[in-house]
Amino acid sequence: MSDKEELTIEEAFGQVRTIMLALAQLAANEQESSAMALLGNAVFACRQQGFGDTIALDLYQRTFPGKPLPRPISRDDFVVKFADSKT
């Protein structure tokens, strides 16, 4: 445990980014195609909402190096497509 009580925005962002990458990689190891679809959807959602895609796209590319973004998929289509892949 660190003795430092206050974090800078940069430190907090770095920690959150590292945690998100670890979770994305875990999801990709467990169910690659569904993780790819969800992270791809997140990239497109960030774009549509006007946030830009810098962080979301970086997370996608680090999780799935060299793989193109999948086409966006609706929530209903996601449920149908990946219903059998739940463990």
Answer yes or no: is 87 within a domain. Answer: no
Q: Does residue 75 carry a pLDDT above 90?
A: no
Q: Which residues form the domain of 73?
A: 9-80
Q: Residue 57 above 90 pLDDT? A: yes
Residue 4 maps to a domain: no
* Residue 60 lies inside a defined structural domain of this protein: yes
What is the band of 3 on the pLDDT scale with cuts at 50, 70, 90? low
In a domain, 1, yes or no: no
Both tokens of residue 14? 């770095």
The answer to whether residue 85 is domain-embedded is no
- Tally of domains in the chain: 1
Helix axes 32-48, 75-82, angle to 10 degrees: 180
Residue 33 lies in a domain: yes
